Amino acid sequence: MKSFTVEEITQITGGMLTKVQDAKIERIAPPLLADENTLALALGEDEIANLAQSKAKAALVPLGVQLDGLTTIEVERPRLAMMKLITMFYTEPYVNDGIHPTATVDPTAKIGQNVKIGPNVVISRDAVIGDNTRIMANTYIGGGAKIGTNCFFHAGVNIGDRVKVGNDVILHHGVSLGADGFSFVTENPDNIEQARKDGSIKEENVKHVIFKIPSIGSVVIGNNVEIGANTTIDRGTIEDTVIGDNTKIDDLVMIGHNCKVGQGCLIVSQVGIAGSCVIGDRVVIAGQAGLADHIEIGSDTIITAKAGVTKSFPAKSIIVGIPAVPRKDFIKQLKTMKDAQEIFAKFRKIEPMLDAFQEEHK
């Protein structure tokens, strides 16, 4: 079992120690779940208040919080310090050394040094796996795929042909990179094309044969990217779909063909990005937001939860609502709705007078 002194934890977190008594720290937990060998994490007001009922001898607290009878480590950024602590206590999933006997590795594949490959993994023809990469059970690496160094693939990952994955990439369970894009065409203009052009649908009961457009592009994932469980990123039709360095993508995200996502972006669960979107650097897209195809989002933009984005926005926008508009316009809309309610309430009061006036002057 891992254990640390409060002095060691103070050094690791870069905090300021006020020591009342020694404590052997074997785990971290909220104050009400902490015992004498636990460092209580009191990052907010409610948790700080709960320290009075805690059995912990020591606590991690925001800068400026000092408590009688309790050893405290004050930190300027509590959440950052918590990350460092969790990293100290975290144990990665086990991956067997070398290549598991049940794995299938094509003779033409190139496997780097100190690579670990788990049960039932398939490495296809001409694939390249970089040094120190670990691949857990039931993962598929397609033909000609190139995987960088120090990557960690959890169980059940699927990597399509010719996909390129950078260094230090983490892919969680069920990630799919490089499936065909959702791209089709009809022989004659269909209802979707009419609606886009004319704003109406004229034809009725017209049968169209729908032809699939194969995807001959691929997917390129930058360095230090993390992609959550069951997220899918489709290959480009002709060009590659690209995810920039240091971008972090949550579970259950869908990114369509031809998309270009910049560096340092945060994309939260259940976001759907349609094909051929261009996303700038450091963009935050909150949960369940949806982006229409062929739009551009400028760098340093924030798209709030459940926003329905149907058009492009410049850099440093804050985007809200369905259909999405700049935050200041959304606030104006809310104010207009509130004003309309008040006007309607006043009208209801004078409506009998208006009815009486009309009746009198018929």
Q: Are the C-beta atoms of residues 278 and 256 closer than 8 Å to each other? A: no
Q: Which of 100, 257, 294, 361 is catalytic?
A: 257
Cα gap 110→336, rounded to integer Å? 63
Left, alpha or beta for 150 (phi > 0: left; psi -120 to 50: alpha)?
A: left
CA 140 to CA 172: how far, in whole Å? Answer: 13
Instruction: Tell which phi-psi region holds residue 120, choosing left (phi > 0), alpha (psi between -120 and 50) or beta.
Output: left
100 is catalytic: no
The torsion angles phi and psi of 355, rounded to 5 degrees, stand at: -60, -40
Which tokens hold the place of 107?
């003779």
Q: Which residues are catalytic?
A: 257
